[in-house]
Amino acid sequence: MKNLEIAKIFYLMAEFVEMDKASFISIAYNKAGRILESLEKDIEDIYYKGGTNELKKISGIGEGIARKIEEYIKTGKIKRYQELKKKCPVDLEKLTSIEGLGAKRIKFLYENLKVKNIKDLERVAQAGKIAELDGFGEKSEKNIIQSIEIAKADKGRFLLGKILPIVRKIIDELKKLPETEKISIAGSVRRMKETVGDVDILVASSNPKKIIDYFVKMKGISKIWAKGATKSSVRFRAGFDCDLRVVEKESFGSALQYFTGSKEHNIATRRIAIKNKLKLNEYGVYKDNKQIAGKNEKEVYRSIGLQYIEPELRNNTGEIEASFENKLPNLIGYNDIKGETHCHSDWSDASFTIEKLAKIAKEIGYEYLVITDHASPLGIVHGLDGKRILKQMQEIDRVNKKVSGIKILKGTEVDIRADGSLFIEDKVLSQLDFVLGAVHSGLKMDKENMTERLIKAMKNPHLDAIAHPFGRVIQKREGYQLDFPKILKIAKQTKTALEINAHEKRLDLRDVHIRQAINEGVKITIGTDVHNVNYFKMMELGIAQARRGWAEKKDILNTLSTNDFLKYFNL
């Protein structure tokens, strides 16, 4: 399928166009990218069925975009893209991943310092040349250096959201072998860590040779690092490494416990075993050299005197002590969410109509869907003002009458201005079911001012929750500093919820923040920030994040039914 390939080119064209000025053309290119990305059918199939006319039947694709798609399918190139790239031949994809570098600044750096890629960027930043440029200064230079370091430190790690679907396919493939008696994901993927170093898979089989031989010949493998009798290590073309281990059925539970980690958790469990005069290793639990457990994981924990510990908690951050005292949390389950609380439509910067979104959410099985389009002065997100929000509310009423079996709630993702006031007037906000506030500009504020900014926003009685509270983007920016205990205190007082933004690149709040929030009795919503149909699936990542933060069902507001959810914010 070429869908993603072409989508990427449209996104890059949008950035190139923005180098000169933000315009409706860059908005159109971005939109085309999102449409292609979320298209379930193969764009080539659509094209070959009826040419550009067929392409234009896709909602949101017009003549100009259809021609470009045709050009790519026919020639493998888009001339306009090549022209744009020739004017400013930089590695735009990598450079835009650096915090603080948008299209305009990248062009400026290219023209003034010949920066074409990250290596050039690092060189000129270290030499202090960026600070001397107009409009940059020392602070920008420091930020750029920091951002390059973040990118480097995380180099070689992969987003969980990107890895999971691929790993599940590998598992399904291995499951087909009759010799596979049991199989499980292990390592950081099983613990649902935000980013993953390598993938670990564990198989139980009495015929390891068959499994290993099959594994190393699987589709998508680009390199075999090692192939032994019971283990193998390979590189997949997608870029990540994968370790496979085959054990006997009798040891599957203890091997799973060992290879799930984390290492810190393992060291602690082994110590407990020793205290109980037992030996715990990947083969089993032994008492005087006799195996007393090992076949399944629950039994392994029980045999050393512990309550079963969910993989997401295995970080040696108190889970062992809690397990001892039977005080482990009853974690929110992966099927507990009843509604999506963060969703954009074609009223702002996404591609689907409200009606289409309603149908998708209904199909997922949700009871409700909150439409939270941007309310913002930023042209690029095509933000709504108060007047358009009122109009959109009428459209939601219409859809609610038309589509049964799901309730569309009226919401907004309103910009929190630098002074903490909201971009939309109170008399409009007061008519909405759910007001999500977000910081989208002035991200470089210092800790004290940013904390005050959020506190002022939370004190607005109409604000219900704060979206992506720290503004972090994984592998790109750490997010701003907040006096979090203070934020929690006010959140509790004002009954403001904090969001876990479930987008694979955000996962903001982090696990430690979630734990602090629920300890203080602050409630949480999980939202995926829907911009196209693929986003809905990221709910799983948000739930995993909640679980890693020790959250129970009662802590997460969108596990409530429609009525209880509405009641919570309107009492």
Binding site residues, ligand DGT, CB under 6 A = 187-188, 193, 196-198, 200, 258-259, 261-263, 266-267
CA 160 to mean position of chain CA atoms: 8
Look at residue 341 and give the partner it binds from ligand DGT, Ca ion, none, a contact being a CB closer than 5 to 8 Å depending on partner kind. Answer: none
Contacts of 9-16 with C-beta under 8 Å, sequence gap 24+, read 9/72, 9/78, 9/81, 10/36, 10/65, 10/68, 12/81, 12/85, 12/92, 12/93, 13/78, 13/80, 13/81, 13/84, 15/92, 15/96, 15/103, 16/81, 16/84, 16/85, 16/87, 16/88, 16/92, 16/103
Nearer to Ca ion, 200 or 508 (CB): 200
Nearer to ligand DGT, 263 or 427 (CB): 263
Look at residue 443 and give the partner it binds from Ca ion, ligand DGT, none, a contact being a CB closer than 5 to 8 Å depending on partner kind. Answer: none
Residue choice 243, 297, 340, 511 for contact with Ca ion (CB under 5 A): 243
Cα angle 367, 372, 374; round to 5 = 165
261 makes contact with Ca ion (CB under 5 A): no
Q: Give the nearest distance from C-beta 551 to ligand DGT in angstroms.
A: 22
Look at residue 263 and give the partner it binds from ligand DGT, Ca ion, none, a contact being a CB closer than 5 to 8 Å depending on partner kind. Answer: ligand DGT
Q: Give the nearest distance from C-beta 233 to Ca ion in angstroms.
A: 8
Report the distance separating Cα 322 and Cα 314, nearest Å: 12
311 makes contact with Ca ion (CB under 5 A): no
122 makes contact with Ca ion (CB under 5 A): no
What DSSP character marks residue 413? E
Question: Taking CB positions, which residue lies at the least distance from ligand DGT?
Answer: 261
Look at residue 366 and give the partner it binds from ligand DGT, Ca ion, none, a contact being a CB closer than 5 to 8 Å depending on partner kind. Answer: none
How many chain residues bind Ca ion (CB under 5 A)?
5
Look at residue 420 and give the partner it binds from ligand DGT, Ca ion, none, a contact being a CB closer than 5 to 8 Å depending on partner kind. Answer: none
Nearer to ligand DGT, 252 or 535 (CB): 252
Q: Give the nearest distance from C-beta 475 to ligand DGT in angstroms.
A: 14
User: Which has the closest alpha carbon to 489: 471, 515, 516, 470?
Assistant: 516
194 makes contact with Ca ion (CB under 5 A): no
Nearer to ligand DGT, 310 or 355 (CB): 310
Asked if residue 163 lies in contact with residue 152, where contact means CB atoms within 8 angstroms, the answer is: no
Report the distance separating Cα 187 and Cα 261, nearest Å: 6
Nearer to Ca ion, 243 or 555 (CB): 243
385 makes contact with Ca ion (CB under 5 A): no
Residue type, 441: S
Report the distance separating Cα 411 and Cα 431, nearest Å: 9
Residue choice 122, 200, 312, 555 for contact with Ca ion (CB under 5 A): 200
Structure tokens at 91: 């590695």
Rg of the chain, C-alpha, whole Å: 26
Nearer to ligand DGT, 193 or 295 (CB): 193
- The H or E element containing residue 144 is helix 137-153
Phi-psi region of 289 (alpha: psi -120 to 50; beta: other; left: phi over 0): left
Nearer to ligand DGT, 3 or 188 (CB): 188
Binding site for Ca ion (CB under 5 A): 187-188, 198, 200, 243
